[in-house]
Structure 1
């Protein structure tokens, strides 16, 4: 079973949470690269599969309610959207929930 199938399965439909400490800034920001890496690690841990390729187009601003969209890409080129939402900020630590979309987009070959 692929990471996409598992990510879209019941495990991630409920959503998952993560917490990341970031460099000091006002408001704190989590770089797009670090967000991509963290989501990849969390998705792999939640599904028991190897780390998938996750791409986030922008930094995540540490402000409660801020959302961002990232993309998980499978080996076959199909993609799955992942929504990230900031739930709380404590000092330089950004806490956020993330949820994979219910359905993958097929590859465009």
Structure 2
């Protein structure tokens, strides 16, 4: 029953989105250089860990296309990909920078996009 699997995946992605929205997921990372910037790989790992902790679900597959610059108000879009290929957008917004520490909020989109055929 492909429809039931799709519904289960959509529910899982919706649970991640709802959990991120209801709890107000946020994170922070200390970096070891003078220019506050977080690599896209480290950002993806941190977002995955925070979403997993917020939703009590396994760590989702997250990809982030660019580094996060440590400037208040800076945003980047990451993507959560489910096992069936459906995706959910995740916005990361820098809320503050303290010396080399970048603090940010994480907000998942309300709706998932179906897998490409």
Q: Tell me the TM-score normalized by structure 2.
A: 0.86
Which has the larger share of helix? 2
The aligned residue for residue 32 of structure 2 is: 23
1:1-109 equivalences under 5 Å are 2=9, 3-9=12-18, 11-14=19-22, 15-26=24-35, 28-109=36-117
Residue ranges of structure 2 left out of the alignment (5+ in a row)? 1-7
Aligned-partner SS, 1:40: helix
Q: CA deviation at 1:24?
A: 1.2
Q: Count matched residues.
A: 107
| TM-score of the two chains, using structure 1 as the length reference | 0.92
Moved over 2 A (4+): none
RMSD: 1.2
Which is higher, the Rg of structure 1 or of structure 2?
2
Cα distance in 2, alignment partners of residues 82 and 5 from structure 1: 12
